Amino acid sequence: MQRLFIREKTEEKFVSAIEKQKIGVAGMSRGAGATFIATSLAKILSYRDDRKVTFLEVCDLTGNKSSLTYDSIGIDKRFKTREFVRFYNEIKSGGSIRGKTNPDDRINWGLITPEDVKAGAGLITPEDVKAGAGLTPIEMIRLINNISGDLIICDISECRNAEDYLLDMDYVIFVIDPVPSAMIKGYPFMREVKRIEYRGKKVIWVINKYNSGINKRDMQSFLKLKEYYRIPLMDAGHFYSAEYNCKIPFEVATIQDGVRETMEKIIKELVLC
């Protein structure tokens, strides 16, 4: 079929909206420091005027959470005169979260609340227990993809389906505690993350709590990482001080001095549009 196409002389315009980018931060083991790295990343990025930053806890076992960011940074104090949106409850009840935010210190906080933990532990209704506690994978993906923000920093910890959520991220930051017992226990998870990287996902490897007691040869022989960033082991007292003052650890000057340079290098690896 012979057809003739003649283009009218018009000025072509293409309006591009800022795309939401999701950065997943996961720990090789419980206590590796994923939340510390994730909150530090969110805090640094919040200083940029061009992007709206959201910190989102991703956990489908809310009743088993060992500790809550909600408690550590004193959300009850920060929102004493304001309503705090319970995103988990909104999603679980089938509500809409579009346009809803918990802004504080230039960050939108999507956190598990003490009430969510009670529900996840089966202390609300028998139906919650039968449902398996927390959000289903579909509900969790709905939360991740619908929460407000341009940069979504996802603290992915203590999940049944962590690998699936990491696949939905634009970038993955994997945090490792180099103590042998933690590496041995977390190795199966690390193996899955390496498979995700092999498939083309950008993975940034971070060894947290780096210190002089590490046998570097043994550590490298076990982890087999080509490149990784080091975050030094810091005095636990600084982290205690942060919690007693309802601060993000990065807000403590001594901690910030120890991690800022490395965190800035990590951010340079993230192609943030």
What is the chain's alpha carbon radius of gyration, rounded to the nearest angstrom?
21
Q: Taking all residues of the chain, what is their mean pLDDT, rounded to a whole number?
A: 88
The answer to whether position 132 is within a domain reads: yes
User: What is the percent of the chain where pLDDT is above 70?
Assistant: 86
What per-residue confidence (pLDDT) applies to 124? 43
pLDDT exceeds 50 at position 123: no
What does the pLDDT average to over 157-173?
Answer: 90
From 98-112, 115-129, 177-191, the region with the lowest mean pLDDT: 115-129
What per-residue confidence (pLDDT) applies to 117? 81
The answer to whether position 129 is within a domain reads: yes
Task: Check which CATH number belongs to the domain holding 222 and give it.
Answer: 3.40.50.300
What per-residue confidence (pLDDT) applies to 247? 96
Domain count, the chain: 1
What does the pLDDT average to over 37-45?
Answer: 97
Task: Tell me the pLDDT tens digit for each residue of 209-231.
Answer: 999 999 999 999 999 999 999 99
Residue with more model confidence, 2 or 261 = 261
What does the pLDDT average to over 237-261?
Answer: 96
What per-residue confidence (pLDDT) applies to 18? 62
Distance CA 89, CA 237 (A): 34
pLDDT exceeds 50 at position 190: yes
pLDDT exceeds 70 at position 9: no
The answer to whether position 20 is within a domain reads: no
Give 63's pLDDT tier (boundaries 50, 70, 90): low
The answer to whether position 200 is within a domain reads: yes
What per-residue confidence (pLDDT) applies to 64? 65
Give 131's pLDDT tier (boundaries 50, 70, 90): very low
The answer to whether position 17 is within a domain reads: no
Q: Which domain holds residue 188?
A: 25-269
What does the pLDDT average to over 157-170?
Answer: 88
248 contacts: CB under 8 Å, gap ≥ 6: 39, 40, 43, 73, 105, 242
